[in-house]
A and B are shown apart, each in its own frame.
Chain A
Amino acid sequence: MIEARNLTKVFRDKKRGEIRAVDDVSFTCRPGRIYGLLGANGAGKTTTLRLLATLLRPTAGGATVAGFDIVAEPERVRASVGFLATSTALYGRLTARETIAYFGRLNGLSDAAVAARVARLADELDLHEFLDRRVEKFSTGMKQKTSIARTLVHDPAVLIFDEPTIGLDVMTARNIVRFVRDCRTRGKTVIYSTHVMSEVEKLCDLVGIIHHGRLVAEGSLAELGERYGVQDMEEIFIRAVGADGEEAA
């Protein structure tokens, strides 16, 4: 479960002054559901997810992730979260096995538990062929599978995905989408940020549209379609953020 309450993040830039990257955002993601965070580039999606993963500290407001407060208990939050983004790369000079084991140990798993978890993830994600090869020699698909295994090594209750399919070919992107669905089936709480409308339609149970750091619309696809009088996700998005970038009524 993720509960964000009036989450706000302000960056101070010498040239641009105060930037409200996330502005008073509140939402709830429940276990066994996928919450889609939809927004254009620079809308505040990544900052919101980094706040939830405790990579950044909120300027105001707060959130609980898997029951832990993101400000008071950041390390416990991170122990309950699997975070996957295109910006979370892997260590090229380690093998896939070493990578998964390293993150397992950092999550407090014993050597025996790490070995068992590596074996299980290798079976589930079909990693055996390249498990003992160095990541630097991997194809994008192999890297993505290893990243997924890295994200799942501690079996987190909450999964945060920040535009995980950006720059990937169709087959690799499909694997990611399938993996996200699997997480829902296993009862995980999933938050998924994207600006690809088709992914939202395929995956999300609930959608939050973020624009200029503010959550301008929220609901299931059906609810949003009804509210804006259109069924196409792209149209819903345009109407929600307004053609001139202003909030829709």
Chain B
Amino acid sequence: MNGQNILTVYGKELRDSLRDRRTLISMIVIPMLMIPGIMAVAVGVSTKMINKARGEVPTVMVLGGDDSPVLRAALAADPKLHLVRTAANWRQQISDKQLRAAVEIPAGFDAALDRGTPAEVKIYNYDGELRSGFAVGELRNFLNDYREKTVTTRLVGRGLPAALVKPFEVKTQNVAPPEKVGGNMIGGLIPYLFILLCYTGAMYSAMDLTAGEKERGTMETILCSPVARTDLVLGKFLMVLTASLTAALISMISMGITFVVGGILMGAPRMTAAAKAGPLPMLDPAGLLLVLAMVLPVAVLFSAVLLAVSLFAKSIKEASSYVSPMIILIIIPAMMGLMPGVELNARLALVPILNIALVSKELVSGVFHWQYLALIFGSTCIYAAAALAFCVHLFNREEVLFRT
């Protein structure tokens, strides 16, 4: 192994890549724009949708209850509900989202209430639909209030205190530090994006440096130079790793800027309100840096695997058909790390990608399980070294280099 040769190859590949628009896009532009883009679209659209849904007075139909004018009048008097005329096709109207919900009052409801006989009111809704959900919420609030008022009236009528039905109050109070709240909320998302960007950042570079060279006919030119195959593959590998880590680093910087700028632009009044309610969710900065350190062996693993797979292909098109579906193999374990209830243990610490996703969630929450960190870092380094060794092995196989 000749360090000078490795650096010469790396230097040339770096210069070459920096002049390639497509590499620059995958290495710098996409990681820079992806996070602010996703945040802007996701936050913007969901906030708008929720606010619009919240602002709407839900359209509700009352079914039956002709003999219960008291309840019907109370429902009609609630400003948070917009009652419409009863129609036979109410189910269809809910499905068509013209009607948000329907409430069915059983026959003789008012009379049953006076007698103290239990009665059942039914709410019909469209499960999973946001506006229908809000309508159900409003109906429930109304009916709960109506029930409480009825109970209170009965107790008072019998000379009993109203507190009889509510002997104690229940209140929840968060005691988790703000960075733990943040870690749980977005801690899983950060490594997921890092892992994905590490992969996509390395992808184009790996294909260009191997299959691309075969396609353009420069592979044979470089192979007939005296540089050893190992030096050649290591020089190329360093370039792919640079692309991968640059993508991860830029995405991290972009994420930081997005949170700061996004907070100033969108959340200033809301943040003040939130500060009154309690501490804001935060991420542990030391943990965030440790996430980057953990991403390093993953980037090595991705770079080596992508280089090996792309080397096998004869053209960028063929390489692309191999490496693009491989994203699924990255996304699934990274997403499993986002699932609630999947916790880090010694066995999962050995599963590549999933282990990083899980430990990163802990790290940004400020939880440091050093024995797992060592196990994950060590095992990922071993996988990365094996992938790199395999890549060097492929570079020495003429049937791969001269595959026709």
Contacts and interface: CB of A to CB of B under 8 A. Distances in A.
* Co-assembled chains A and B: yes
Interface of A: 50, 53-57, 75-76, 78-79, 81, 83, 85, 87-94, 98, 102-103, 105-108, 134, 150
Contacts of B402: 50, 55-56
Contact of A78 (B216, B220, B226): B226
Please indicate which of the listed interface residues B5, B20, B221, B222 has the most CB atoms of chain A within 10 Å of its own CB: B221
Q: Which 5 pairs between the two chains have the least Cβ-Cβ distance?
A: A89-B217, A79-B226, A83-B224, A78-B226, A88-B221
Given A85-B220, A88-B217, A107 B225 contact: yes
Given A91-B218, A93-B20, A56 B398 contact: yes
Interface residues on B, range: 20 to 34
A89 B228 CA distance: 20
Residue of A50, A76, A102 most packed against chain B (CB within 10 A): A102
5 contacts: A75-B228, A78-B226, A93-B16, A105-B8, A106-B5
Interface in B203-248: 216-218, 220-228
Given A53-B224, A88-B220, 8 more contacts: A55-B223, A78-B225, A79-B226, A88-B221, A90-B221, A91-B218, A98-B15, A102-B8
A85 B226 CA distance: 17
A89 B19 contact: no
B216 A89 contact: yes
Nearest to B218: A89
B16 A89 contact: no
A108 B226 contact: yes
Contacts, number: 66
B220 A106 contact: no
A147 B111 CA distance: 101
A173 to B, nearest CB: 19
A166 B218 CA distance: 17
Interface of B: 5, 8-9, 12, 15-16, 19-20, 216-218, 220-228, 398, 401-402
Residue of A79, A83, A88 with most chain B CB atoms under a 10 A cut-off: A88
A79 B216 CA distance: 23
Contacts of A90: 218, 221
B224 to A, nearest CB: 4
Nearest to B23: A93
Contact of B224 (A88, A94, A102): A88
B94 to A, nearest CB: 61
Contacts of B223: 55
A75 B224 contact: no
A76 to B, nearest CB: 7
A119 to B, nearest CB: 20
A76 B225 CA distance: 10
Contacts of B16: 91, 93-94
A92 B15 CA distance: 12
Nearest to B16: A93
A17 to B, nearest CB: 15
A55 B225 contact: no
A39 B175 CA distance: 84
Contacts of A134: 19
A168 to B, nearest CB: 15
Nearest to B5: A106
Contacts of A105: 8
A231 B225 CA distance: 39
A94 B228 CA distance: 22
Contacts of A55: 220, 223-224, 398, 401-402
Nearest to B216: A89
B216 A92 contact: yes
Contacts of B12: 91, 94, 98, 102
A90 B224 CA distance: 13
A50 B223 CA distance: 10
Contacts of A89: 216-218, 220-221
B18 to A, nearest CB: 9
A8 to B, nearest CB: 15
Contacts of B225: 78, 103, 106-107
Nearest to A78: B226
Given A55-B224, A55-B402, A106-B226, A87 B8 contact: no
Contact of A106 (B8, B15, B401): B8
